[in-house]
Chains A and B, each alone.
Chain A
């Protein structure tokens, strides 16, 4: 028996929202599991896709930026590793941003028929993106073996940056998915942002090629900090972190996360009326 009392009033933000979110953790897990299993069901390509996409993009970048443009790598790190170490967080970010942004619309039926804290939906899609990430991480290990490149203890800190990458996608993801409920045009923004972002973020090149005086400004792009962090973990001291930039990126990530959560919660009550 639960001896709880719920009071429903207009404009009352649900008390204990975060507790409620915790109470619905089983639903969260099962929705995440649904997203993952539907993604890999039916097709072998599902798994293959998670491997091929970042790998092929990496090859193209190595040829264009490393061979043709002859951009320098970080320290002694092989150029392919430099690119792949950035490809990983970039795909994690872009896939989870894309999935989160479309998540509410994709679950229209649920939202109009059942109550649960709506934030579960975008957050659970991020988990599915994380599974993609784990699969491509295996390639990284393979590549490290191929280049006989031994990572340092920094690698242990990788989870911190993985979380940072997820938070970076969750902030804008929450905001856009909420807006998407009423204004379906927002879904067109994401493919554009992702395509554009791939080139303005230091994925195909090292962020050290950016002139020193622009580097702080460049770090306004939150992904710059995440990618630098990944490279630092994977390539070790070949790729030192530019701290002022990293802190700025983190602040931007936190700002977007705050904006995302704040606006999501504000719009959450009306989702069922609008969707």
Chain B
């Protein structure tokens, strides 16, 4: 079709992960030896042939992308949104040829440049000038092209007087400015951009966004991934929403953002108007569970810096010792932590019993502590001295869930760090760091 510059047909990307089988009551040494020698031989052969070797007894295929179909026309600015782990980065990596698809096909007409992070390939020992040439070449600019734009790049980055200083002596702000300046002067036909605007101070961010505006208006075809809905709304007319590796929505940006926010299927509060239907038994029944902000308002989207409160309302029908336990589950089902209230009511098995009545318990979670992403709560209420798993009164999974965002405006635990965490940790506390200059000697 005329005008179509990127066409993706049934695109899929699969990763294979090995699991170690745990079955079997005992393992004979002989079996292990036989299995391993046989494995060793075939693996050595694979090694020689360059086939991948995957550890583990059972293999699991994970489709990071599946059945992705879309077209981008020339000059279109397409936004890609989705939760962490929805496949955005994988899609960009496939489109920018960093990794090969596992199925389907993508047809691209024109020169592609990808900007998945700023300052790729910057070498600390080299000077600013040298790094401009190096980084430019890495991003796909020719030497002549860099030469032509050199002054413009330097002016944009505001680093004139440090051009011949090794970048290891740059402040992080200067470093980022220089890196972005090079990237901003790329002129490919198709530009693939990951969340890279979110660097530097606010002033510089505005400048970057302005530059992106120019790029978008300049008839360039752009694919743009961001968590920043304002930037998406501003730059893109059309948006794709990815969810679990599939396209959940493809259309006008406003609708796409609406769809994305709705699709988060968060459930920040739950209540049971008819208490007889509520979870529980003849000792205790729940009335409501909710997550509220510092101001006591129910909220589904928290900044990583904000404290939050888990509130549990319940009705006690018979006097009983009760313990409440909340488990915190991360986006991918990872178990973050559990917290129990029992320490507030005396020693184990001799807790101050709850008398008949209606109660509200709340658990305060400080800001700058949880990681970003979806957080859901599992709730257990049981009677000591029994263990929680021995006939609990209430055992609910995913009672309430919220979304936590780490903004890129320097105030969060990530500070100015612009990249992904790699292996996503369970918590992202903002711990106290201090640095002092001990001596100014250089040895």
Selected contact of A272 from candidates B99, B105, B111, B137, CB within 8 Å: B99
Q: Interface size bucket, B side?
A: 35 or more
Q: Is B18 an interface residue, CB under 8 A from the partner?
A: no
Of B114-122, B379-387, B431-439, the segment with at least 4 beta carbons within 8 Å of chain A is B114-122
Chain B residues with CB below 8 A from A12, complex form: 100
Tell me if B142 and A26 are in contact (CB < 8 A).
yes
A131 to B27, CA, bound (A): 56
A69–B378 Cα distance when bound, in Å, is 79
Residues 122-140 of chain B, each 1 if its beta carbon lies under 8 Å from chain A, else 0: 0101100010011001111
* List of A residues within 8 angstroms of B106 by Cβ: 7-9
Which B residues are in CB contact (< 8 Å) with A30? 133-134, 137-138, 143
Q: Bound state CA distance, A272 and B125, in angstroms?
A: 25
Confirm or deny: A76 has a beta carbon within 8 angstroms of a beta carbon on chain B: no
| Contact of A110 with B138 in the complex, beta carbons under 8 Å | yes
- Least CB distance from B311 to A in Å reads 43
* In the complex, B205 has a CB within 8 A of chain A: no
Q: Which of A33-41, A95-103, A196-204 is near enough to bind chain B?
A: A33-41
Q: Is A112 an interface residue (CB 8 A)?
A: yes
Instruction: Assess whether A115 is interfacial by the CB under 8 Å rule.
Output: yes
**Is A263 located at the chain interface by the 8 A CB criterion?**
yes
CB-CB under 8 A from B125, the residues of chain A are: 38, 41-42
Contact code string B352-376 (vs A, CB < 8 Å = 1, else 0): 0000000000000000000000000
A205-236 residues at the B interface, CB under 8 angstroms: none
User: Which residues of chain B come closer than 8 Å to A269, judged between CB atoms?
Assistant: 99-100
- CB of A5 within 8 A of CB of B98, answer no
Give the residue among B52, B100, B140 with the most A Cβ atoms within 10 A: B100
Return the chain A residue nearest B47 by Cβ: A179
Query: Does A15 interact with chain B (Cβ within 8 Å)?
Result: no
Question: By the criterion CB–CB under 8 Å, are B123 and A38 in contact?
Answer: yes
Q: In the complex, what residues of A have CB within 8 A of residue B94's CB?
A: 8
| Set of chain A residues within 8 Å of B140, measured between Cβ atoms | 114
Within 8 A of B (CB), among A222-275: 262-264, 266-267, 269-270, 272-274
Within the complex, the shortest CB–CB distance from B68 to chain A, in Å, comes to 12
Q: Given the known A-B contacts A110-B121, A114-B120, A114-B139, are A8 and B50 also in contact in the complex, defined by CB atoms under 8 Å? A: no
B96 close to A10 (CB less than 8 A): no
Quote the shortest CB–CB distance from A30 to chain B (angstroms).
4
Q: Which of B99, B105, B112, B117 contacts A273 (CB 8 A)?
A: B99
Minimum CB distance partner of B136 in chain A: A30
Choose among A2, A7, A262 the residue that contacts B110 (Cβ–Cβ < 8 A): A2
A2 touches B123 (CB 8 A): no
Complex-state Cα separation, A9 to B99, whole angstroms: 10
Q: Is the CB of A5 within 8 A of B108?
A: yes
| A6:B108 contact, CB within 8 angstroms | yes
Q: How far is the CB of B254 from chain A (nearest CB, A)?
A: 31
Cβ contact of B100, chosen from A1, A5, A8, A110, cutoff 8 A? A8
Which of chain A's residues have a CB closer than 8 A to the CB of B48? 263
A36 CB to closest chain B CB (Å) equals: 11
A87 to B108, CA, bound (A): 50
The reply to whether A37 and B105 contact each other, CB–CB distance below 8 Å, is no
In the assembled complex, the Cα of A30 lies from the Cα of B140 at a distance in Å of: 12
Knowing A272-B99, A273-B99, say if A113 contacts B116 (CB, 8 Å). yes
Q: Among residues 83 to 124 in chain A, which have CB atoms less than 8 Å away from a CB atom of chain B?
A: 107, 109-116
B15 within 8 A of A: yes
Tell me if B109 is interfacial: C-beta within 8 Å of chain A. yes
B189 within 8 A of A: yes
B-side contacts of A38, CB under 8 Å: 123, 125-126
Tell me if A182 is interfacial: C-beta within 8 Å of chain B: yes
A-side contacts of B50, CB under 8 Å: 178-179, 262-264, 266-267
Contact check, B107 vs A10: say whether CB atoms are below 8 A apart: no
Instruction: List, sorted by A's number, 17 A–B pairs whose CB atoms are closer than 8 Å.
Output: A4-B109, A6-B109, A8-B101, A10-B101, A26-B142, A27-B137, A30-B143, A31-B134, A38-B126, A111-B98, A113-B116, A114-B140, A179-B47, A263-B48, A266-B51, A270-B52, A273-B15
Which A residues fall within an 8 A CB radius of B?
1-12, 26-27, 30-31, 34, 37-38, 41-42, 107, 109-116, 178-179, 182-183, 262-264, 266-267, 269-270, 272-274
B binding-site residues for A, Cβ under 8 Å? 15, 47-53, 93-112, 114, 116-117, 120-121, 123, 125-126, 130, 133-134, 137-140, 142-143, 189
The 8 closest A-B pairs by CB, nearest first: A115-B97, A263-B50, A266-B50, A8-B106, A30-B137, A269-B100, A272-B99, A113-B120
